[in-house]
Amino acid sequence: MSAAPHCPAHPDAPLTPGVSGARDQFFTITEERFAYRTCSECKGLVLDPRPGPEAIGRYYGGYYTERFLERLERRTQGGKRAFGSGRLRALGFLRGLDKIGFDTPVGKRLLDVGAGLGAFARYARDLGKMDVRGVDFSAHTAAFAKRLHDVDIDVNELRTQAYPEGSFDVVTAWHYLEHVYDPITELAEMRRVVKPGGVVMVETPTPSLAYRVFGPRWMYLMPPTHLYHYRPATLVSMFEQAGLQVVAVRRPWFPGEWAGSLLFSLGVRNFTEVLFGGGKSARERLIRLAFFGMIPVDIAWGLLVALIAGGSNLRIFARRPE
């Protein structure tokens, strides 16, 4: 475990107790228990103690397994059938660009950082007619993205890729910033590679009402790969410290958070595999039935809560000053 994590926005602020006893229930790679502490300044969450960069790799063993990718490829008929979340993200993103007064996206250069399976980049290209590129450290998912979506992803960390200064009009990072050790340095690099006046958009989970209700069983906690959970104030401060001008802060909502957190509270393990692995045991069938059966209620309740208290995602649009 590496020494003394702190809030990236407020490195001098003391950390107060947050939640403990949290487990990796998404993938169940490990039986270890994890704790998050709270920044006394912004109430953002910090995984502490945490595995260092040299040890974190093994905890990613459940993300995008060969089996998962094979099933995805079959279900989408080799990418011909739409990826729901990639398309939804692209639609929301293009609407967001329009709302902040961004000139037409057509032909503009977009870099998606932590591009994963490439579905967002594909739909930004297909729906927004943008010239897209991704960067992601995984050669495995980059090859998948090329095959399914014909999206080019540079296999590297953003900073070591060292794109020329100002080479993109827009940089996006979906559910990326909660995974990195030094998010302000990452944001500063996004600022450097985008043109003056260009846009940086980041989306990341944020502790919502469901976090207050479920604590260590909140579905999006995802220890230990989520090193931080930012509040709006955390992220705004980080953007400012990275030299970016925040122009919009939104709290989008996505279904499944309440139903999933409830199942986590009942002790569900290996959630992703049970839900999408197609296992036929009685236990697996029961969990799937419970989750998908609860979804209509989850949607109604989740939307109501999101309208009153904000959704569980934080989406920020910022510009590099001219």
Q: Which residues make up the interface to Zn ion (CB under 5 A)?
A: 7, 9-10, 39, 41-42, 44
Provide, rounded to whole angstroms, the least separation between the CB of residue 13 and Zn ion. Answer: 5
Provide, rounded to whole angstroms, the least separation between the CB of residue 219 and Zn ion. Answer: 23
**Closer by beta carbon to Zn ion, 11 or else 61:** 11
What does the alpha-carbon distance between residue 21 and residue 30 come to, in Å, rounded to a whole number?
A: 13
Provide, rounded to whole angstroms, the least separation between the CB of residue 39 and Zn ion. Answer: 3
Helices (H), the chain: 66-75, 84-99, 119-128, 139-149, 158-161, 183-193, 209-214, 232-241, 257-265, 271-276, 282-309
Provide, rounded to whole angstroms, the least separation between the CB of residue 276 and Zn ion. Answer: 35
**Closer by beta carbon to Zn ion, 38 or else 270:** 38
Give the chain's end-to-end CA distance (angstroms, integer). Answer: 41
Angle (nearest 5°) at CA 180 between 177 and 181 = 130
Provide, rounded to whole angstroms, the least separation between the CB of residue 314 and Zn ion. Answer: 14
Q: How many CB atoms lie within 10 A of CB 217?
A: 23
Q: How many CB atoms lie within 10 A of CB 73?
A: 14
What does the alpha-carbon distance between residue 70 and residue 244 come to, in Å, rounded to a whole number?
A: 39
Provide, rounded to whole angstroms, the least separation between the CB of residue 218 and Zn ion. Answer: 19
Provide, rounded to whole angstroms, the least separation between the CB of residue 44 and Zn ion. Answer: 5
What does the alpha-carbon distance between residue 291 and residue 296 come to, in Å, rounded to a whole number?
A: 10
What does the alpha-carbon distance between residue 199 and residue 210 come to, in Å, rounded to a whole number?
A: 31
Provide, rounded to whole angstroms, the least separation between the CB of residue 184 and Zn ion. Answer: 12
Tally the C-alpha atoms within 13 A of residue 14's C-alpha that lie toward its C-beta: 2
**Closer by beta carbon to Zn ion, 46 or else 219:** 46
**Closer by beta carbon to Zn ion, 41 or else 298:** 41
**Closer by beta carbon to Zn ion, 15 or else 171:** 15
**Closer by beta carbon to Zn ion, 191 or else 229:** 229
Residue 252's Cα: distance from chain center in Å?
12
**Closer by beta carbon to Zn ion, 116 or else 207:** 207
What does the alpha-carbon distance between residue 195 and residue 209 come to, in Å, rounded to a whole number?
A: 37
Q: What is Dmax (Cα atoms) for the chain?
A: 59
**Closer by beta carbon to Zn ion, 14 or else 107:** 14
